[in-house]
Structure 1
Amino acid sequence: MSAKQQHPFHLVELSPWPILTAFSLLFVTLGVVFLMHGHSMAEYFSIFGGGAVIFCSYHWWKDVIKEGRVGHHHTEKVRMGLRIGMALFILSEAMFFFGFFFSFFLARFFPAGILEGLWVTGEGLWPPKGIQTFDPWDIPFMNTLILLLSGTTVTWAHYAITQNDQRNSVMALGITVLLGIAFTAFQAYEYHHAAFKLTDGIYAANFYLATGFHGLHVIIGTIFLTVCYFRAKNGHFIGGNGHLGFEFAAWYWHFVDVVWLFLFVFVYVLGR
């Protein structure tokens, strides 16, 4: 199937990676559930599942890259379908954060609610008594600047790729990856020095769920861009080879940037 496709359909060879990835994620889920219940097998399930996910993801991505570069399966019609799929995926991720923000705003504006018997909050009092919030103009503001700068560097990389400038595209992607790592490191430091824990009430639960889920997206986006960095070093995106993989990574990273701006304004600044 090495000849260039002439039809508009995304027909590729059968792959074992979707089903293997599904079972790997099942082991990760079981590990987390066992961990919550203090089961002795939790660590083994989590480590095996996590390692299997990484293994399957690596080979699955490798096959997708080969489909486009060697098999020439990614015709214009196929690329359009893949773009629609990525857009719908990002939209589904946005719905996750919509739910988190809805929960936060509900607790913020109506602090005495259905959880009053479990997590006591005073009427009109937010954050609840005993919660010492973060200073938004310290690490959160620094992380905001880091993500905004990373948005400019990933745009720089995109421009360099469109100009067939491999040197600058590699440099810009490398800087973006380092900025993503820096953001994660600062957030880990912030969590380590937090004055409240996940179990300290409805404010803490909403805070860690929203910011932690975003932090997970930053880690995934950093991995995505790291793959693009090594592909750019190998010249995959220049000379008319196409750059659909990088395009999706850039979309995802800009989504992460925008979500953080909402988190910074509504959770860190206005949520104090």
Structure 2
Amino acid sequence: MSSNTASSEDQYFVPAPSALPFALTVGLTLFVIGLIQVMEGGATMPPTLFLGIAISTVFIFWWFWKIIAESEGGLYGPKVDMTYRWAMGWFIFSEVMFFAAFFGALYYARALALPWLSGEGNNLSTNLFLWEGFEAAWPSNGPAELGGRFATIPAWDIPFVNTLILLTSGVTLTVAHHALKENHRLKCILAMWATVALGGIFLFFQVEEYLHAYQDLNLTLESGIYGATFFMLTGFHGVHVTLGTLMLLVITLRLMKGHFTADRHFGFEGVAWYWHFVDVVWLGLFVFVYVV
């Protein structure tokens, strides 16, 4: 760790080596293994899933605590602030590419794979040797009707409500940001709590949607290409909403403890960037997964 404790203009804080990244990687790895076990039809709630969640939660908040202590201790100067801005920008760019790959998979399945399997534009009639009589209709559960017949979730039901919720959360977050810049801390805190609540409500409705899909519509991960892409896109977005809601909660609690000032609050801004990104991704999901 740097021997200097002041955040002067010409100094750059370098933290001491830490095992937190490795520990968090272990927790996330166990979580993914447990999730795969659930998806593969194994144990309903395997121990690895709970262990991964527990380890990840502990070390995420431990890491938060260390960073907050460094920030409030005056160790972060303008150079560190700029580093965080660049890092958050590149992180969000990587998330854009992450979802672009999933939207690309959706496009490939709908616009390329289905027409090819049905024989559209295929002079060699390859489909006759693969799936004779297959029609390129979307939503599709595949040529062999994998998982059986299913129904889709109406776009103007829960998905539309969730769209309004996320758009409203973007407004309340913007109100909170402007309030912070104008030194209206109480207004900022109230708007942040509203944003956290809206994030929680969104997740509640998404769980309700998934239960309805599995129990009433026979729409599952095994429902062919449509089920796979539907849960892949909406599920990963739900994970991002969960992480974003947790980050918003941490920022709100920090505001209540007097952290951040009108001109120094990148912790707040970074989370706001992430949340607005989550909002934009959902708009794409709503249009291309539910409506089109």
Shift of the alpha carbon at 1:118? Answer: 10
- Measure, in 2, the Cα distance between the counterparts of 1:151 and 1:145: 10
- Maintained 8 Å contact 1:122/1:128: no
Query: Match of 1:31?
Result: 34
Matches within 5 A, 1:16-95: 16-35=19-38, 43-70=46-73, 72-95=74-97
Matches within 5 A, 1:95-174: 95-110=97-112, 111-112=114-115, 122-128=134-140, 130-174=149-193
- Maintained 8 Å contact 1:112/1:122: no
Shift of the alpha carbon at 1:112? Answer: 4.6
Q: Which residue identity is paired with 2:204?
A: A
TM-score, normalisation: structure 2:
0.84
- Maintained 8 Å contact 1:86/1:248: yes
- Measure, in 1, the Cα distance between the counterparts of 2:167 and 2:252: 19
- Measure, in 2, the Cα distance between the counterparts of 1:230 and 1:244: 15
Query: Match of 2:13?
Result: 10
Compared CA separation, residues 238 and 120, structure 1 to 2 (3 A): farther
- Measure, in 1, the Cα distance between the counterparts of 2:137 and 2:39: 31
Number of residue equivalences? 268
Query: Match of 1:179?
Result: 198
Identity of aligned residues (%): 40
Query: Match of 2:282?
Result: 260
**Is 1:220 the counterpart of 2:239 in the alignment?**
no
Shift of the alpha carbon at 1:13? Answer: 2.7
Shift of the alpha carbon at 1:167? Answer: 0.2
Query: Match of 2:258?
Result: 235
Shift of the alpha carbon at 1:14? Answer: 2.9
Matches within 5 A, 1:191-210: 191-194=210-213, 195=217, 196-210=219-233
TM-score, normalisation: structure 1:
0.90
Compared CA separation, residues 91 and 120, structure 1 to 2 (3 A): farther
Larger radius of gyration: 2
- Maintained 8 Å contact 1:157/1:172: yes
User: SS at 1:193's partner residue?
Assistant: helix
- Measure, in 2, the Cα distance between the counterparts of 1:31 and 1:180: 25
Compared CA separation, residues 235 and 138, structure 1 to 2 (3 A): same
Compared CA separation, residues 162 and 213, structure 1 to 2 (3 A): same
Compared CA separation, residues 16 and 121, structure 1 to 2 (3 A): farther
Deviations 1:30-72 (CA, angstroms, capped at 9, x unpaired): 33345556777972222222111111111101100111111x2
- Maintained 8 Å contact 1:68/1:74: yes
Compared CA separation, residues 202 and 37, structure 1 to 2 (3 A): closer
Q: Which residue identity is paired with 2:51?
A: F
Deviations 1:79-118 (CA, angstroms, capped at 9, x unpaired): 111111111111111111111111111111231558x899
- Measure, in 1, the Cα distance between the counterparts of 2:258 and 2:246: 19
Deviations 1:102-150 (CA, angstroms, capped at 9, x unpaired): 1111111231558x89999933311127442221111111111111100
Compared CA separation, residues 2 and 166, structure 1 to 2 (3 A): farther
- Maintained 8 Å contact 1:11/1:73: no
Deviations 1:147-174 (CA, angstroms, capped at 9, x unpaired): 1100000001101111111100100000
CA RMSD, aligned part only?
2.6
- Measure, in 2, the Cα distance between the counterparts of 1:42 and 1:187: 20
